[in-house]
Chain A
Amino acid sequence: MNRRETFLLAGSSLVALPAIAQETPRRGGVMTVHFATEQRILNPSLQASTGVYIVGGKIQEALVDLDAAGNPTPVLAESWESSPDGKTITFKLRAGVTWHDGKPFTSADVAFTAMEMWKKILNYGTTLQLYLTAVDTPDPLTAVFRYERPMPLGLLLRALPDLGYISPKHIYETGDIRQNPANTAPIGTGPFRFVQYERGQFIIAERNPNYWRPNLPYLDRVVWRVVGDRAAAAAQMEAGQILFSPYSALAISDLQRLGRDPRFEVTTRGNEGNARTNTLEFNFRNPILADIRVRQALAHALNIPFFIENFLGPFAKPGTGPIPSVSTDYYPAGMPQYPFDAARANRLLDEAGHRRGAGGARFSLRLHPAPWGEDISLFATFIQQSLSQVGVRVEIVRLDAAGWLRTIYNDHNFDLASGWHQYRSDPAVSTTVWYRSGSPVGAPWTNQWGWSDPTIDQIIDNAATELDVGRRRALYADFVRRAQTELPLWMPIEQIFVSVFNRRLRNVGNNPRWASSSWHDTWLAS
């Protein structure tokens, strides 16, 4: 094939592709959204969670977002550059953007949000911006972030879509930020303007007529319906009262049922940036579990592919370590694994000195499953039954959210725990804290196992400030290898959240964090 042919072929496919989706976007319509995880506030620069992004992400905007390919794309920042030493990162901001109350958006807003919110209040933001010393504003459209230690630009740009939402300084500069009324009636620059919030019922936002992207958004309104009961939400979806249910909020059986219904699309598309892994957490304060052979044996005793095939269906796959396979930049292949091997599990337990006693039992453990997610509950039962095959008795202890967090991460009163680890675009954001020692007692989803390893601490620290992408990737491969060898906790299942779309919706799921993104180009077919 010569160059001319290649060009022609490429040209024809370029023409052909849009032809498939050759529909003129329709203006108007109300998008109704299932809101299962009502939070206390709606402002994403104060709280990083999907339950806030699903609403606040349409009203407020971040400096950058992710494009369809998962690369950082400009939103409120138009361009960025890092100094060679990685300690100064300069953002050029978009001109002509106004807040919903009419005031102009400037670098002062960025500086205020970064220093007062991201660095002091925003969860994960406080860790990410730990070494941020100042944000200079030489002019209204330039914000210069100054760091005490080198900040890898790639890390910052991958973290900012979630941890980079901007709030208006003129609203927040006086009084206690946590008590500001704008926390539940947000003012932003986004495509939708906040209208009304009735707790436990609904939130309404309407089209922002002065949005900086010309002639957007298409939708007139977005209405979030608070529906806590999963079966009821599925019924509302079928009755057409809800058009979109995000973040695996429906029951697994309903997801499978709706997936067969031509009116709906049930997919992981648009959630690639929200990967999570199921965990099996070990408490090293229990001497039985402090023995590596026991931890390996427990891992070998679980037939993960069988569990996935029979309980979770097509939306899960076996996990290979703390960095999930959706992380194209940092996913390392060929790491130590623990395939199902009951004979080996039995041998390891024998070697560790836990011979089978009366009734074939070796020892008993308590397992605390986290109360969110049907899969966690199913997994706990599966663990219980699988481990009984190798002579380990498991007692399942169920607690609600507050009780679970307190018991595991503060009181350390458990043997085994199982929940979710959420991967947030870069291992340094919320993954390495599960392994790094030195987290204060009570910090949830951190290393509270009673395990500390200077080797992994060193790797984590080096990777967090490494500016060279290649070297950083190599360090994270070392990190995963060490984590999989020492096995302080095990992440055997990888999942991506599932969205359910009514097929009338168009331009949905077109970026890796779509449910959290701004929906400026989403429209509703008649």
Chain B
Amino acid sequence: MRFLSLAAKRLAASLPTLLLILIGMFLLLQLAPGDTVDAMLAQMGGGDASIAADLRRFYGLDLSVPAQLGHYLWRLIRLDLGFSAIYGKPVATVILERLPATLSLMGASLSLAFSAGMALGVIAARRVNRWPDTLISTVGLIFYATPSFWFGLMAIVLFSVHLQWLPAGGFGDVAMGYTGWRAALDIAWHLVLPTITLGLIFLAIYLRIMRASMLEVLSLDFVRTARAKGLRETRIITRHVLRNALLPMVTLIGLQAGTMLGGAVVVESVFSLPGLGRLAYESVVQRDLNTLLGIVFVSALLVIAVNFCVDLLYARLDPRIGT
């Protein structure tokens, strides 16, 4: 019960922000030249003016901007995200179709970045300023500095084109027509390269934070006490240091959940994954307001949810922090 009321309170507190974001997006997109009918005509390769007028009526673009905004907000109050111009389906359906790819990619690469970052950070901190530390930090920096599209393409060239170990793109192999477990395995197989590409960039950040945080905790008094009472080094690291050093890492997850939704656009494009990032990009290019606002709405909810989980985790890791 306490949990639920806390969740409700959190949601209520973020509602005004959410509303401001949506209105801001709506107005921002009005500033872009051209509307969804222009984008459609560009795709079609032309059409006469009566077709364009017909289509504008069809998409409700013949109304004034305040009227369109009013309509949108009124629909939103009734939890109706509207109709997607590009997809010809309700926005909620379109987003739901795209969520699995985004969530699995996000979840997998976040786990990879977090666990590998943590492990490497611990190793680097324990061998601070010696060769393993230098090596890990340098490699991390290289990953961080490499543009993700280049990284992804090089991975495709190496693992798909030359070695032919992994598929070059797509969310499962449609031509094979798998079902059930076989399909899930197939999707996982297709996600290996994208996960590594996206994960490695974030890995560097986790690695740096973990290393710094470990070094800080290692210098604290209670660690010296633990050492003084004769505990083994491994036990000190796992029981005493790690748990305290994890707090900044968990904070980072909350912060990066949003970044990852955005950063996935490039990876989704390179690997032709049907995720939210690509959908958002497409909606901007096609001036599909409803879809774009729907994505903003869902992403905001996702970020709020992740941050809520992070708060709960804080309490688990450090009982001194109340919820």
Residues of A within 8 A of B (CB): 30, 32, 37, 39-41, 47-51, 121, 123-124, 126-127, 178-179, 183-184, 198-202, 204, 221, 223, 225-229, 231-232, 235-236, 238-239, 241, 372, 399-407, 410-411, 422, 430, 439-446
Query: Which one, B43, B46, B160, contacts A445 given CB within 8 A?
Result: B46
Q: How far is the CA of A202 from the CA of B35 in the complex (A)?
A: 26
Q: Which of B87, B168, B279 has the most CB of A within 10 A?
A: B168
Which 8 pairs, one residue from A and one from B, show the smallest C-beta to C-beta distance?
A402-B34, A123-B47, A406-B34, A440-B49, A401-B42, A403-B33, A402-B39, A402-B38
What's the count of A-B pairs with C-beta under 8 Å?
173
The count of chain B contact residues (Cβ–Cβ below 8 Å) is 55
Query: B169 touching A241 by the CB < 8 A rule?
Result: yes
Q: How far is the CA of A221 from the CA of B174 in the complex (A)?
A: 11
**B residues less than 8 Å from A40 (CB atoms):** 40, 43, 85-88
Query: Which one, A48, A121, A183, A439, contacts B88 given CB within 8 A?
Result: A183
- Identify which of residues 130-171 in chain B touch chain A, using a CB-to-CB cut-off of 8 Å: 149, 152-153, 156-157, 160-161, 164, 167-171
- How near does chain B come to A131, taking the closest CB pair, in angstroms? 14
Q: How far is the CA of A40 from the CA of B58 in the complex (A)?
A: 14
Which residue of the partner chain A has the closest CB to B45?
A49
Q: How far is the CA of A127 from the CA of B48 in the complex (A)?
A: 8
A235-B153, A442-B49 in contact; A228/B42 too (CB < 8 A)? no
Query: Which one, A179, A229, A411, A443, contacts B48 given CB within 8 A?
Result: A443
**A residues less than 8 Å from B270 (CB atoms):** 229, 231-232
Q: How far is the CA of A179 from the CA of B270 in the complex (A)?
A: 32
Q: How far is the CA of A121 from the CA of B45 in the complex (A)?
A: 14
Residues of B within 8 A of A (CB): 32-36, 38-52, 54, 58, 85-88, 94, 97-98, 149, 152-153, 156-157, 160-161, 164, 167-171, 174-175, 269-272, 274, 278-279, 282, 285-287
**B residues less than 8 Å from A229 (CB atoms):** 149, 269-270, 272
Q: How far is the CA of A209 from the CA of B58 in the complex (A)?
A: 37
**A residues less than 8 Å from B169 (CB atoms):** 225, 227, 232, 235-236, 241
Query: Which one, A127, A404, A439, contacts B42 given CB within 8 A?
Result: A404
Q: How far is the CA of A201 from the CA of B97 in the complex (A)?
A: 11
**B residues less than 8 Å from A221 (CB atoms):** 175
Query: B51 touching A402 by the CB < 8 A rule?
Result: no
Which residue of the partner chain A has the closest CB to B83?
A179
Query: B156 touching A123 by the CB < 8 A rule?
Result: no
Query: A411 touching B33 by the CB < 8 A rule?
Result: yes
- How near does chain B come to A236, taking the closest CB pair, in angstroms? 5
Which residue of the partner chain B has the closest CB to A196?
B174
Query: A232 touching B153 by the CB < 8 A rule?
Result: yes
Query: Which one, A198, A403, A441, A442, contacts B274 given CB within 8 A?
Result: A198
* 27 residue pairs A–B, Cβ–Cβ below 8 Å: A32-B175, A40-B43, A40-B88, A50-B45, A51-B43, A121-B51, A199-B274, A200-B274, A201-B171, A201-B174, A225-B272, A228-B278, A229-B272, A235-B153, A235-B168, A239-B168, A241-B168, A401-B39, A402-B36, A403-B32, A403-B38, A405-B38, A406-B38, A407-B33, A422-B45, A430-B45, A444-B38
**B residues less than 8 Å from A199 (CB atoms):** 87, 94, 97, 274
Q: How far is the CA of A231 from the CA of B270 in the complex (A)?
A: 8
- How near does chain B come to A170, taking the closest CB pair, in angstroms? 21
A225-B170, A226-B272, A232-B153 in contact; A200/B98 too (CB < 8 A)? yes
A40-B86, A183-B88, A403-B33 in contact; A444/B272 too (CB < 8 A)? no
Q: How far is the CA of A410 from the CA of B38 in the complex (A)?
A: 10
Query: A405 touching B34 by the CB < 8 A rule?
Result: yes
**B residues less than 8 Å from A410 (CB atoms):** 38
**A residues less than 8 Å from B167 (CB atoms):** 239, 241
Query: B157 touching A235 by the CB < 8 A rule?
Result: yes
**B residues less than 8 Å from A127 (CB atoms):** 48
Q: How far is the CA of A439 from the CA of B86 in the complex (A)?
A: 27
Query: A444 touching B161 by the CB < 8 A rule?
Result: no
**B residues less than 8 Å from A443 (CB atoms):** 46-49, 52
Which residue of the partner chain A has the closest CB to B98?
A200
Query: B272 touching A232 by the CB < 8 A rule?
Result: yes
